[in-house]
Amino acid sequence: SLMSDGILAKVLLDIDDDESIYSGSSLALEEGYNLNIQQVDVNGNSVWMSLTKDGDEVDDAILSSGDTYVYEKDLGGVEDVPLIAVHIDSVFSGTETNVVSIDGIFQISDDYVEIDEDDEYGEMTISSVSKTEIEMKNEEGDINLEEGDIIDLMGKLKFIVADDSDVLRFAPFVDMSEPGTYELRGTIAEEQGFTWTPLNFEGFYYDIDEGVSSESLTVEYDGRSIDEGNLTYKAEPVPVEFEHNNWGKYNVIGFMAEKYFASYNESEFGDETYDSDLMSNGQLSKVLIDEDDEKSVYTGSSLILEEGYTLNIREIDVNGERVMVELTRDGDEVDSGVISSNDEYVYEKDLGSEDDVPIIVVHFNNVFSGTETSAVFVEGIFQISEDYLEVDDGDTFGEMEVTSTNPITLENEDDIDLDEDSTIDIMGEIKFKVADDSSTVRYYPFVEVETEPDESLNIDIEPTTVVEGEEITFTVTSRGAAIKDASILIDGEKVGTTSDEGVFEYDADEAGNFTATAQKEGYVSSEGNFEVISPEDESKKISIEVSPEEVFEGTPITISVVKAIGSEPLEDAEVFFDGQSLGKTDEDGTITYNPKEPGTLPTSWKPGWMATLMQN
């Protein structure tokens, strides 16, 4: 037992898929291990196999059909631990090819974790370890459940606390912020019927801040078959506050484990009150954005929304009281308007039979007009999809049929068999998983969710080449808006944070080539490169630019050679492409070329100057 010795090893593989490996090929395992088929005997009775790690042989064996190859290794103080087990189903020796069939692989990591009493993991401390149990307690201090907090407990396990000053409401959850596919499952039902709600099925919609739920799924148990009408799903709308709470509330509904907009609830946008009701017309629209983060957007830049929409900041009046905006979709203008400070931009559109539905709302907190720059400060964005879903009596979704729309109710229109070791599509993304157990009916609902990368930062570096002692300006944005308090790192070392305008100014005090990184929690980091030239090299550095940026075979290009500092055109600089000279630049520092086949980036050189490769 590894655990009794304070050792844990991750399970890397545990599969029984059939795989065929041919002589001279390999079975790729985890952590750099490969099981190689060296030779099959002429009678097809046995196979010689070798195991390598990172290319180095660590073991070999001769095995027959039905044998299991086992590779053992000492882990900590535990000797001869089976690290890899592979079951050989059959060995075949043919006249033209030899093949080994495998139908079982198990592997644990040799990069084990050591655990012992008093070890600390986040807020938790190990109080005891045995071969059957690890017990941990928060022995190092109290854990405060402050409203609206997310608390790191240990590893990826966290607490989320409702943003509610009247009621303490909290729940554990596993961090799924890293991009990937995750399973959210409900409580397991064993030989019984069951009702799942958001309190025992994390896949269903739940607003922890307001403690409201919308969905339920009930099964009446009758053995291996759910008879027609014995699986019932219900969903009804509930009021929730906008993240920008000055707007009041809207009605939301969870439907098939996804969040949808049902109706406005006397929602106040500026001087108008809206009560558009999609659900009464059998329509549901996904909520795309509901946030109140403060963003700074400058004149000439844009606020990037969903489904191809962009809100462009065209002009700010000289008094800094109003802003002219233009809304585009996929580059085409669809609306424009003039908005004052502390007011809303609202874009309405007909959705099905419901007219003038606000699908985009943006609150402009402040408008600023300066002598050098002008900006607007946005604090509140709400957007719903114009691609709505229709739900009517008699509609079918997977195995389920709509029997009512108030509340939305669906029942299984045919029997559903709970066959052992099966995955059953119920409706939308909701599925049932049934245990591989012939004696007991054990099953649970689940949904798979895809975690997309967070919004990405963009770092703009100006200029990208400076002389030692000069200043470089880093500007950090996301969705076109300035990002404040973003950390700026130079070659991995933090040098400062951005201002309210998303700007950080840096004194370049050392010559060399550097990488700048912008980081902020909740965003994908962004990198950019810059160069600092010593004063002695200032007059010797050149740069290359190619136009157009996207080059195809047969497309004429213009190559420009300029001084790195000041961008002054450089005449008589020789330009090379794939090592072949194209000639020298003219008085404008340019030369034209028509590439006939793919090649590398151009280079340039001039006596007394530093040779330069174009930066891709």
443 and 570 part of one domain? no
Range of the domain at 64: 3-111
464 shares a domain with 445 = no
What mean pLDDT do residues 392-404 have? Answer: 96
Which tokens hold the place of 425?
A: 């599509």
Residue 616 has pLDDT above 50, yes or no: no
**How do residues 135-189 score in pLDDT, each as one tens digit?**
999 988 899 999 999 999 999 999 999 999 999 999 999 988 777 889 999 999 9
> Where residue 55 sits, what CATH number does that domain have?
2.60.98.40
* pLDDT-based confidence at residue 495 (cuts at 50, 70, 90): very high
Mention every residue, 6+ apart, whose C-beta is less than 8 A from residue 117: 126, 127, 128, 129
DSSP character string of 302-344: EEE-STTEEEEEEEE-TTSSEEEEEEEETTEEEEEEEEETTEE
- Among 206-220, 260-274, 447-461, 564-578, where is mean pLDDT lowest? 564-578
Q: 46 and 94 share a domain?
A: yes
CATH code (residue 469): 2.60.40.1930
Per-residue confidence (pLDDT) for residue 29, from 0 to 100: 94
Q: Is 331 a member of any domain? A: no
Nearest to 52 by CA among 31, 21, 67, 81: 31
Residue 482 lies in a domain: yes
Highest mean pLDDT (candidates 50-54, 127-131, 510-514, 566-570): 50-54
Q: DSSP character for 151? A: E
Q: What percent of the chain has pLDDT over 90?
A: 62
Residues 459 and 557 in one domain: no
Q: How confident is the model at residue 218 (pLDDT cuts 50, 70, 90)?
A: very high
C-alpha 313/C-alpha 311 separation (Å) is 7
**Which of 579 and 429 is assigned the larger pLDDT?**
429
Per DSSP, the three-state class of 92 is: strand
- Tokens at 67, concatenated: 């044998």
User: What tokens appear for 538 in the block?
Assistant: 């200032």
Domain membership flag for residue 299: no
Residue where a domain stops, chosen among 507, 536, 565: 536
**CA atoms of 329 and 242, how far apart (whole Å):** 24
Q: State yes or no: pLDDT of 317 exceeds 90.
A: no
Task: Residue 231: name the closest of 32, 399, 457 by CA.
Answer: 399
Residue 302, pLDDT score: 87
Residues 254, 182, single domain; the answer is yes
Read off the pLDDT of residues 341-360 as tens digits, 9 standing for 90 and up.
999 999 999 999 999 999 99
pLDDT of residue 466: 84
pLDDT band at 539 (very low <50, low <70, confident <90, very high): low
What CATH number is given to the structural domain containing 256?
A: 2.60.40.4190
434, 452, 470: which is the final residue of a domain?
A: 452
Lowest mean pLDDT among 380-384, 506-510, 552-556, 595-599: 595-599
User: Do residues 262 and 410 share a domain?
Assistant: yes
Same domain, 505 and 551: no
Looking at the structure of the chain, the number of domains it has is 5
- Determine contact, residues 22/8, Cβ cutoff 8 Å: no
Reply yes or no on whether the pLDDT at 454 is more than 80.
no
Q: Look at the alpha carbons of 474, 479, 481, 484 in this order and tell me if their dihedral is positive or negative.
A: negative
**β-strand 113-114 against 120-121: which pairing, if any?**
unpaired
Please state, in angstroms and rounded to a whole number, the distance separating the CA atoms of residues 288 and 381.
Answer: 10
Mean pLDDT of the chain: 89
Q: Are residues 7 and 107 in the same domain?
A: yes
Residues 589-605 have a mean pLDDT of: 70
Residue 356 lies inside a defined structural domain of this protein: no
Confidence of residue 234 (pLDDT cuts 50, 70, 90): very high
Position 382 in a domain: no
In this prediction, residue 612 carries a pLDDT of 55
482 and 445 housed in the same domain: no
Q: Give, as one character, the DSSP assignment of residue 148.
A: T
Residue 398: name the closest of 419, 418, 414, 417 by CA: 414
Q: Residue 576: inside a domain, yes or no?
A: yes
pLDDT digits (tens, 9 = 90+) for 569-580: 888 888 887 777
**Per DSSP, which regions of 341-486 are E strands?**
343-351, 354-369, 374-384, 389-390, 396-397, 400-405, 408-412, 416-417, 423-427, 430-434, 442-451, 455-456, 458-462, 465-467, 471-478, 481-482
Which tokens in the block code for residue 324?
Answer: 């002219």
pLDDT attached to residue 580: 77
pLDDT at 44 over 90: no
Query: In terms of pLDDT, which residue wins out, 371 or 524?
Result: 524
Q: Are residues 9 and 104 in the same domain?
A: yes
Q: Per mean pLDDT, which range of 73-87, 217-231, 362-376 is the poorest?
A: 362-376
Structural domain includes residue 293:
no
Contact 47, 99 (CB under 8 A): no
Tell me which residue has tokens 């599969």.
15
The reported pLDDT for the residue numbered 550 is 66
Would 362 be classed as within a structural domain? Answer: no
Partner residues linked to 171 by β-bridges: 160
Q: Which comes out higher in pLDDT, residue 102 or 296?
A: 102
Could you give the residue ranges of the DSSP H alpha helices within 458-578? none
Q: Which of 325, 328, 347 lies closest to 336 in space, CA to CA? A: 325
Q: What is the pLDDT of residue 465?
A: 82
Total residues belonging to the chain: 616
User: Span 55-78, mean pLDDT?
Assistant: 93
529 pLDDT higher than 60: yes
Q: What is the mean pLDDT of residues 321-326?
A: 91
Look at residue 4 and give its three-state secondary structure: helix
> What's the pLDDT score for residue 530?
92
Q: Determine the residue type at 501.
A: E
How deeply is 206 buried, as exposed, middle or buried, from its count of CB atoms within 10 A (0-12, 13-18, 19+)? buried
Residue 140, sorted as left (phi over 0), alpha (psi -120 to 50) or beta, turns out to be alpha
pLDDT reported for residue 602: 65
In this structure, the answer to whether residues 204 and 276 fall within a common structural domain is: yes
Its pTM stands at 0.71
pLDDT of residue 555: 72
Instruction: Please say which residue of 147, 175, 203 terminates a domain.
Output: 175
C-alpha span between 595 and 589 (Å, rounded): 19
Angle at 401 between CA 396 and CA 404, to 5 degrees: 120
Rounded alpha-carbon distances, angstroms, from residue 613 to 587, 605, 610: 21, 9, 10
Rounded average pLDDT over 470-499: 91
pLDDT at 558: 87
Lowest mean pLDDT among 90-94, 117-121, 389-393, 450-454: 450-454
- Position 453 scores a pLDDT of 66
Other residues' Cβ atoms within 10 Å of the Cβ of residue 183: 13
| pLDDT score, position 205 | 95
Please give the Cα distance from 461 to 447 (Å, whole number).
43
Mean pLDDT over 312-333 rounds to 89
pLDDT of the residue at 97: 83
Q: Is the pLDDT of residue 605 over 60?
A: no
pLDDT over 70 percentage in the chain: 94
Instruction: Judge if 137 and 157 occupy the same domain.
Output: yes
- Say which amino acid occupies 319: N
pLDDT of residue 118: 92
